[in-house]
Structure 1
Amino acid sequence: MKLFIYFDIILIMFTLMTMLYRKGLFDRIILLNIISLIIIILMCILSISLNIWYYLDIALVYAVLSFSGIVALCNYFSVKGEG
């Protein structure tokens, strides 16, 4: 279990480093979506392994908020004409 958590932390760090070096706005939005997906997967695995089921509810709410935020950002920048 600890190995999986460390692996997720390393994945998030690599994604953050990639986000710093990318220039495009939509590339950064996609990388932010990848980070939120890794966090959601980590919360689901922790919920199942620790037998704390309300973590799944929190992960579901986080997924919905992440999706709606990404859609709102893409809509805003497509209307604005940037990207």
Structure 2
Amino acid sequence: MTNYEQLFQEQMQNPEFVTAYHEARIERRVDEMLSALKEKICHDEPKENLLNMIDSIQQQIHRIRKNSNPPRRSQKVAAMKS
């Protein structure tokens, strides 16, 4: 395990860090998707393609939020008891 990986694992024990990490990850991914959309707008993509891309972005945001939510304390406690 590299020093970075070890530090990351240690930081992931801090609930505040975990929350900030997941929020930053979501923000970065949303920024990437919006940048791609802006690029398509600048290249005069057909409206239907743009609308499809917006729908896709919405779905991806929902998926990202669902998959990136850090476990709540009660979920951690329940998992530890199992």
- Smaller-chain TM-score bracket: 0.5 to 0.7
Structure 2 stretches of 5 or more lacking a match? 1-6, 12-16, 78-82
- Contact 1:47 1:55 (8 Å CA) reproduced: yes
- How far the C-alpha of 1:63 sits from its partner, in A, is 3.3
Going from structure 1 to structure 2, the CA distance change for 1:77 and 1:64 (only over 3 Å counts) comes to same
Percent identity between matched residues is: 5
Asked if 1:73 corresponds to 2:62, the answer is no
Q: Is the 8 A contact 2:26 2:64 kept in 1?
A: no
| Residue deviations 1:12-63 (CA, integer Å, cap 9, x gap) | xxxxxxxx98x31111110111111211221221121101232552343133
Q: Distance in 2 between matches of 1:63 and 1:35?
A: 15
- SS, match of residue 71 in structure 2: helix
Superposed, 1:1-83 pairs within 5 Å as 23=11, 24-53=17-46, 54-74=49-69, 77-78=71-72, 80-81=75-76
TM-score, normalisation: structure 2: 0.53
| Greater Cα radius of gyration, structure 1 or 2 | 2
Greater relative contact order (Cα 8 A, min sep 6): structure 1 or 2?
Answer: 2
Alignment size in residue pairs: 61
Q: Normalization by structure 1: what TM-score?
A: 0.52
Which segments of structure 1 move beyond 6 Å, counting only runs of 4 or more? none
- The CA RMSD over aligned residues, in Å, is 2.9
Structure showing the higher helix proportion among its residues: 1
